[in-house]
Structure 1
Amino acid sequence: MGLIFAKLWSLFCNQEHKVIIVGLDNAGKTTILYQFLMNEVVHTSPTIGSNVEEIVVKNTHFLMWDIGGQESLRSSWNTYYSNTEFIILVVDSIDRERLAITKEELYRMLAHEKECTCAQKRQREREGDRESQESKPDTGLELTNCKIMT
């Protein structure tokens, strides 16, 4: 049991993990970010663009990006996905009128992940078809799988 715990601990210890916090405007993303950071509730104003804070928990560094949720900013969420290990989707369950919009945005994120997975698979297939595997160019195509928990 101790060996398993040590292995798991070594995966996360002294590493930096990128986390993005997304959700519709006024869902509470910034409040959650500063709750993590300062362990207290702070009054916030709408986020234009993004906020970023580093949170350290037992030698594990989390670089947390709070991304604005206004309709005009949602189309830019996919620019933050690169190298992201965790996504926190904040849902305001009281705002029942906009739950459908939240669902659409979630599906948009999942579709983006699927497109990246397909592009990565096609790239690997092309590389496999090459006769010379010694001189592979760096494509810069990298995908980090994200799990969505409810």
Structure 2
Amino acid sequence: MGLLFTKFWSLLFSKAEYKVIIVGLDNAGKTTILYQFLMNEVVHTSPTIGSNVEEVQWRNFRFLMWDIGGQESLRSVWNTYYASTEFLIVVVDSTDRERLSITKEELYRMLDHEDLKQAGVLVFANKQDLKGSMSSAEISQQLNLTSIKDHGWHIQGCCALTGEGLYQGLEWIGTQIRTRR
């Protein structure tokens, strides 16, 4: 009985830290999402050169979130951040139809990397508040997400500026963590 109680207690009050990397093309909203999680407000951002890292506490989870710059010149070094990553958040600008194929290429390149073989994938279809934005279903189809069989994945429409949809994405991550235990 004591072992059962201990297991239940650890599930409820675990303070384990989970490494999350946030990637996407430049101007997708990665940094805005990171600071929305951290401070629940919009902060003025400039293009990320390198990375931002913050510890985000949500419910009984602690996440070490790495926001990695998405400019073309920085994408070749994304793999230096992959070690020990448990979740990959891919942020897509839902209005950027022209570069969605680039996002797809980068996504599948990441999924093939040995260090990300166990990582869950959350795709944030950002900027859903803007006229002409692609729906989550359209982005899912364009990225061919249903072909991903070796990773748990979820796509979530969101608006980084208002926070709408962001915590539903974290809910999915929380569910993934609980089922892995």
Alignment TM-score, normalising by the size of structure 2: 0.60
Structure 1 runs, 4 residues or longer, greater than 6 Å off: none
Give the letter aligned to residue 57 of structure 2. V
Look up the match of 1:146. 119
Aligned pairs for 1:1-150 (under 5 A) are 7=8, 10=11, 13-112=14-113, 116=114, 145-148=118-121, 149-150=154-155
Q: Secondary structure at the match of 1:66?
A: strand
Relative to structure 1, is the Cα distance of residues 97 and 62 closer, same or farther in structure 2, using a 3 angstrom cutoff?
Answer: same
Relative to structure 1, is the Cα distance of residues 66 and 103 closer, same or farther in structure 2, using a 3 angstrom cutoff?
Answer: same
Give the letter aligned to residue 147 of structure 1. G
Q: Secondary structure at the match of 1:91?
A: strand
Deviations 1:45-100, CA, capped at 9 Å, x for gaps = 00000000011123421110000000011011111110011110000010111001
Relative to structure 1, is the Cα distance of residues 48 and 107 closer, same or farther in structure 2, using a 3 angstrom cutoff?
Answer: same
Relative to structure 1, is the Cα distance of residues 144 and 10 closer, same or farther in structure 2, using a 3 angstrom cutoff?
Answer: farther
Partners in 2 of 1:71 and 1:55 — Cα distance?
A: 27
Relative to structure 1, is the Cα distance of residues 101 and 40 closer, same or farther in structure 2, using a 3 angstrom cutoff?
Answer: same
Partners in 1 of 2:100 and 2:111 — Cα distance?
A: 17
Alignment identity in percent? 73
Aligned-residue offset at 1:143: 6.5
Partners in 2 of 1:9 and 1:92 — Cα distance?
A: 37
The unaligned stretches of length 5 or more in structure 2 are: 122-153, 156-181
Alignment TM-score, normalising by the size of structure 1: 0.72
Alignment root-mean-square deviation, CA: 2.2
Moved more, 30-39 or 57-66: 57-66
Aligned-residue offset at 1:9: 6.0
Relative to structure 1, is the Cα distance of residues 96 and 69 closer, same or farther in structure 2, using a 3 angstrom cutoff?
Answer: same
Which protein, 1 or 2, shows the higher relative CO under an 8 Å CA cutoff with sep ≥ 6?
1
